[in-house]
Amino acid sequence: MGQRFGRPSPSRMRRSALSREKLLFLVAAGLAFSIMLTFAIVLKIKKNSEKDEAATIVSVQDNVGTVRLLAPERPVRSGTKLSDVRFLEMYWPISQVPAGAIRDYSELKDVYARAELPAGIPLQKKHLTTKQPTSSLEPSPGNRAVTINIDAETAIEFHVVAGTHVDVVLTYHNAQRELTSNVIVQNARVLSLGGDTSTAEDRNEKLFKSSYRQPKSKTVTLDVSPQDALKITTSRQLGKLSLIMRSTGDVKTLPKTEVSQTEIDGTAQNTTAAPVKRNCNRGRLRTPKGEFIIECDGKLTPVQK
């Protein structure tokens, strides 16, 4: 029988259903794509925001943050190998980091403590040395070590610490009985002061930490040639030895090494002039041969009548 009036055919209904399904699929796909796109945009914005925030944090830390420094856990003796020392990791304000502060353990390889190090104080490069300090300094090859007695006056208030250079002066009476000062040794290196081998830098560090103590033994040991060592040994018996301190790097030889009392007060003795006869006698002597005056030198001078 034919199709009833007003009702679509089955084939047309199937095509219409397929069109609706296709449309719904396209709408769903578009919606999914939109959601994914929106999510990607939001994620990108979030990442950029996190980067900006991290950059801001880093910038703030660079100005008001802290850095890691290394400090001895316990006091360290001078000469200690620092790779054997336990250190604390201290977080120090970046604006107050000491100059030359040590930040990494790799900087402590094959180095020693130049001086005594207190606990809890950040380590600095000036505290390090690649040479292991010794308890005593050795004289230069071919030289000798000789010791002389000193006091605050003869040792420039004990500023002649190890490493400084000095001239040795002998003050004595010469053959004419004039008081004379003579430089007998020039540019001698100080090995120790009262047995203390601390250098000027070491002493300044100790003074800063209030741990420096004046040497008890009032002696100084010098690095000199064998001939100069003999001069000093002989001069000990002739008069008073004192030191003149040289500036760093001054190795010049003095052209004039002696000054006598004559050059200071002008009391020169004229050895070529005739001796002045002094009016001096010890009394008179009467003998059968006459009367004599006894001079101070024992000579008899006849009394003129």
Tens-place pLDDT, residues 190-222? 998 887 777 766 665 555 555 555 555 588 899
User: What tokens were used for 255?
Assistant: 């052209």
Q: Assign 230 a pLDDT band (cuts: 50, 70, 90).
A: very high
Percentage with pLDDT > 70 across the chain: 69
Q: 126 by DSSP, 3-state: which? A: helix
pLDDT of residue 217: 59
Q: Assign 95 a pLDDT band (cuts: 50, 70, 90).
A: confident
Residues 6+ apart with CB under 8 A from 207: none
Q: Calculate the alpha carbon distances from 91 to 69, 121, 244, 305 in Å.
A: 6, 12, 48, 111
pLDDT of residue 222: 94
Q: Are 193 and 245 in contact (CB under 8 A)?
A: no
- Mean pLDDT to the nearest integer, 92-102: 86
* 46-80 tens-digit pLDDT: 676 665 555 544 444 444 588 889 999 988 877 78
Instruction: Say which range, 25-29, 210-214, 295-299, has the weakest mean pLDDT.
Output: 210-214
Give 3-state DSSP helix, strand, coil % of the chain, rounded to 5: 30, 30, 40
pLDDT of residue 232: 94
pLDDT of residue 282: 58
Q: What is the β-pairing status of strands 112-113 and 128-129?
A: antiparallel
- Mean pLDDT to the nearest integer, 238-244: 90
User: Is the pLDDT at 302 greater than 60, yes or no?
Assistant: yes
Name residue 169's amino acid. V
Q: Are 171 and 153 in contact (CB under 8 A)?
A: no
- Mean pLDDT to the nearest integer, 249-277: 70
pLDDT of residue 207: 54
Say how far residue 188 (Cα) sits from the centre of its chain: 21
Closest CA to 213 of 202, 225, 228: 202
| Burial of residue 193 (number of CB atoms within 10 Å: 0-12, 13-18, 19+) | buried
What average pLDDT does the structure give for the chain? 76
Closest CA to 212 of 171, 277, 154, 158: 158
So what's the architecture of 66-129 in CATH? Alpha-Beta Complex (3.90)
Q: What is the DSSP letter of 162?
A: B
pLDDT of residue 275: 45
Q: Which residue has the tokens 């090494």?
A: 257
Query: Which of 59-63, 237-241, 301-305: highest mean pLDDT?
Result: 237-241
Q: Are 236 and 148 in contact (CB under 8 A)?
A: yes
pTM, entire model: 0.46
User: Is the pLDDT at 270 greater than 50, yes or no?
Assistant: no
